[in-house]
Structure 1
Amino acid sequence: ITERKLVSLLPSISKSEMEPNSTFGNHHSNRSCTTENFKREFYPIVYLLIFIWGALGNGFSIYVFLQPYKKSTSVNVFMLNLAISDLLFTITLPFRVDYYLSGSNWKFGDLACRIMSYSMYVNMYSSIYFLTVLSVVRFLATVHPFRLLHTTSIKNAWILCGVIWIFIMASSTILLNNGSELKGNVTSCLELNSHKLNKLKTMNHIALVVGFVLPFGILSICYLLIIRALLKVEVPESGLRLSHRKALITIIIALIIFLLCFLPYHVLRTLHLVEWKAGKCKDRLHKAVAITLALAAANSCFNPLLYYFAGENFKDRLKSALRKDQPQKIRCRFSVPTLNVSLGVSSVCESK
C-alpha cells in the first residue's frame, strides 16, 4: 500500500495536499486511521456549501460593483478584485467534490489537476493581501484623508491590484509542477511525495512569514491605531465619523477572517509538516488539518459581508441594481388611465 498524502506547504493546496494519506504500510495503521474516510465524507459537503454560497455571494457582488454609479473609489476597486479572486476559486470546487466522492480518483486530466493546487494558493494569498490593503487604505483615510486622495486614485488602485496579482500568481507557479499520478487503478491528484518534505518545510516558512505573519501584523497595527485614534479624537463632522466607522468595520471583519480562516490553517499546516513521519498515523492532527483547510477555503463566503457592511456606496448600488426596472414599470402603470387610449400608449406599456 502506498503512502499518498503529505501536507502541502502552501495554503492554497487542496485538503488532500495538506495531509498524508491515512493508509500506511502496516496492518495496524489501516485499522486505526480513519482520515481517508473522514475526508470522503467531510470534503464534498463542505466544498459544495462553499461553492453555492461563494459563487452566489461573490458573483452577485461583482454584478453590483460593476453597476454604473456616479462615484467610484479605490476601496471598491480592491473589493472588486477580491470578489473576482473568490469567484475564480469557487468555480473549481465542483471538481474537488467529484474527486473525493470518487474515492480520490481524478478524472479531469493532468492540466486541470495542476490548476486545482494553483487556484487555491492564489485565492488564499490574494485574499490576504487585498484584505490587508483595504484595511491600510481605510485606516489612512481616517488619519490623512486629504493626502490619501492623491495617492489612492482609481488608476493607482488598479496598478496596485495588478502588482498583487502578478506577485501571487508568479510566486505560486511552483505548484503547477504537481500534476496527477496513476496509482494502481486510480489517478491521484493534489498529492506530494515524502522526499519533498525538506523543500516543503522551507517553502512553508517563507509562505508563513511573507504570506501570513507580515500581513497579519500590519492588520493588527492598523486595528490598534484606529482604536487609538477613535479614543483620542472627537470628530464632530458626520462625514468623518462615518469614515472612522467604516475603517473600524473593515478592519474588524478582516481580523475575524484572518483569525477564523487563515490563522488555524497556517498553525496546523506548520505543525503537521514538523510532525509528519512516514508510517505514523496521527488521526486527530490529520482531521484537524482538514477542518482548518476547509475554514481557509471558506474565506470566500465571508468576504461578501465585508462588501455589504463596509463597501463604498455598496448598499446604494445594490438598491439601484434591484430596482433598475421598477421606475419604468411604475410610469407605465400610471400612464394608462390618464392618457387617451387612442394614442396607443396603454398597449405599448402592457407589452413591456
Structure 2
Amino acid sequence: MNDNSILENRSCGDIGNFKTNIYVPTYIIVFIFGFIENVFCIFVFLRLYKKKTAFSVVMANLAISDLLFVCTLPWRVYYYYDSYHYWHFPNYLCVFLTYALYFNMYCSIYFLTLMSILRYFAVVHPIKGLKYRSVKNVQIICIAIWLFVGLTAIPFLAIRNKKNQCFELSGWIGSMEIKIIFAMDLVSLVLGFIIPFFIFTGCYILIVRTLLTSKANHLRQTTSRRKAIARIIGVMVIFITGFPIYHIVRTIYIAKLFPAGNISNVSCPVGKAAVATLCRAMMNPCLDPILYYFAAETFRDKVRSTIKNVFKGFPAPIQQT
C-alpha cells in the first residue's frame, strides 16, 4: 500500500523503469503547476476576499493542504529519477513523506465533501441551512478535519520499507503485518472514501434535482441554472475520476498480497494500474483550483479581476502607420 509498491518480477519486466517514466514527469508537473496555482489561490482567499465566507474558508484550507503536499514532491522526484531507486536520506524522512501523501489525500476528500454539504444547504435549504453555514462553525469543522485525518493517518507511519529504499514495501511481508495493512486499507477505504463519496455524490445529485425541478422566471435564470449544472458535473468528474479508481485498485492490490504477503503474487496489470491510478489521485492539487473556479462565482470574479489588473500594467502595443 505504501505508494503501491511493486516487486520486480519476470512477467512485468523492469517495473522500476515504468515507475520512473510515470512518476517523475507527473510529480514535476504537479509540483510546478500545483505550487503556482495554490499559492495564487491562497493569496485570493486571504487577501482579496473582503469578507470571509464558509465556502472560502473550506477552499483556503484545501489549498493550504495541497500546497503543503506539493512541497514534498521534489524528494519523490529525486528518488525515482535515480535509476537504482536508492534512498540517500534518513528513514524518518521517507516515513514522513508517505504519511504526507495519505494525510493530504484524505484531507482533500473531506474538504471536498464539506464543500458539497455547504453547497447542498445553500441550494436545497437556503434558509434552514444558514445556521450550519456560519463561518465560525465551518472553521471549527475544518480544524476537526485536520485533527481527525492527522490522527487516523498515524498508522501509515508504521509501514516498513525495503532496506535503503523508500516507497517500497519489503519483498516478503509477515502474516501479522499483512493483516495490519489489510485492516488499515479497509478502515481508510470506509472512513476515508466510501462514506465521503456517498455524501459528496448524494449532495450534488440533490442539488441538480433541485435546480432542474425549480421554476425559472426568465431566460437569464434558466441559462444560469444550466451553467450551474454544467459546473457541478465538472466538479463531480474531477472527484470521481481520481479517488474512487485509486481506492478500488489499491484494495485489489492489497487483496492480492493477502494472506501470504508475497508482493510477487501481484500481477503486472494490477501493479501498473496501481502506479497509474496513484498518479491520477496525486494530480488533485493541480485540479482543485479548477474546481474552485467552477464551484465559486466569487472566486471566478476575483481571478478575472486579478488577471485584468495584471494585464493593465503592460504597456499597450504601439501601432505602426
TM-score range, shorter chain: 0.7 to 0.9
Q: Which residue of 1 aligns with 2:318?
A: none
Query: Which residue, out of 14, 37, 47, partners 1:67?
Result: 47
1:109 corresponds to 2:90? yes
Q: Which moved more, 1:33-42 or 1:153-162?
A: 33-42
Contact kept in structure 1, 2:19 and 2:275, CA below 8 Å: yes
Query: Which residue, out of 290, 295, 305, partners 2:290?
Result: 305
Q: Give the Cα–Cα distance (whole angstroms) in 1 for the partners of residues 209 and 300 of structure 2.
A: 28
In structure 2, runs of 5+ residues without a counterpart are 316-321
Q: Give the Cα–Cα distance (whole angstroms) in 2 for the partners of residues 249 and 115 of structure 1.
A: 39
Q: How many residues align?
A: 306
Q: Give the Cα–Cα distance (whole angstroms) in 1 for the partners of residues 197 and 31 of structure 2.
A: 26
Q: Which residue of 1 aligns with 2:167?
A: 190
Q: Which residue of 2 aligns with 1:291?
A: 276
Query: Which residue, out of 73, 78, 81, partners 1:93?
Result: 73
Look up the SS of the partner of 1:145 in the other structure. coil
Look up the SS of the partner of 1:44 in the other structure. helix
Q: Deviations along 1:265-320, whole A, 9 cap, x unmatched? A: 11111111112362436222111110001001111111111111222411232244
Q: Give the Cα–Cα distance (whole angstroms) in 2 for the partners of residues 77 and 239 of structure 1.
A: 30
CA RMSD between the two structures: 2.7
Q: Which residue of 1 aligns with 2:110?
A: 129
Residue 111 of structure 1 and its aligned partner are, at CA, apart by: 2.4
Q: Give the Cα–Cα distance (whole angstroms) in 1 for the partners of residues 223 and 57 of structure 2.
A: 20
Q: Which residue of 2 aligns with 1:46?
A: 26
Show the 5 A alignment for 1:256-267. 256-267=237-248
Q: Give the Cα–Cα distance (whole angstroms) in 1 for the partners of residues 140 and 220 of structure 2.
A: 28
**Structure (1 or 2) with the larger CA radius of gyration:** 1
Q: Give the Cα–Cα distance (whole angstroms) in 1 for the partners of residues 281 and 81 of structure 2.
A: 21
User: What TM-score, normalized by structure 2, do the two folds share?
Assistant: 0.86
User: What TM-score, normalized by structure 1, do the two folds share?
Assistant: 0.78
In structure 1, runs of 5+ residues without a counterpart are 1-7, 24-28, 331-352
1:177 to 1:226, Cα distance in 2 relative to 1, 3 A: same
Q: Which residue of 2 aligns with 1:206?
A: 187
Query: Which residue, out of 233, 241, 250, partners 1:252?
Result: 233
Look up the SS of the partner of 1:67 in the other structure. helix
Contact kept in structure 2, 1:117 and 1:190, CA below 8 Å: yes
Residue 223 of structure 1 and its aligned partner are, at CA, apart by: 2.5
Query: Which residue, out of 291, 296, 315, partners 2:300?
Result: 315
Contact kept in structure 2, 1:308 and 1:314, CA below 8 Å: yes
Q: Give the Cα–Cα distance (whole angstroms) in 1 for the partners of residues 98 and 303 of structure 2.
A: 34
1:222 corresponds to 2:203? yes
Look up the SS of the partner of 1:54 in the other structure. helix
1:294 to 1:246, Cα distance in 2 relative to 1, 3 A: same
**Amino acid across the alignment from 1:36:** G
Q: Which moved more, 1:262-271 or 1:33-42?
A: 33-42
Contact kept in structure 1, 2:39 and 2:67, CA below 8 Å: yes
**Amino acid across the alignment from 1:22:** E
Q: Give the Cα–Cα distance (whole angstroms) in 1 for the partners of residues 209 and 77 of structure 2.
A: 46
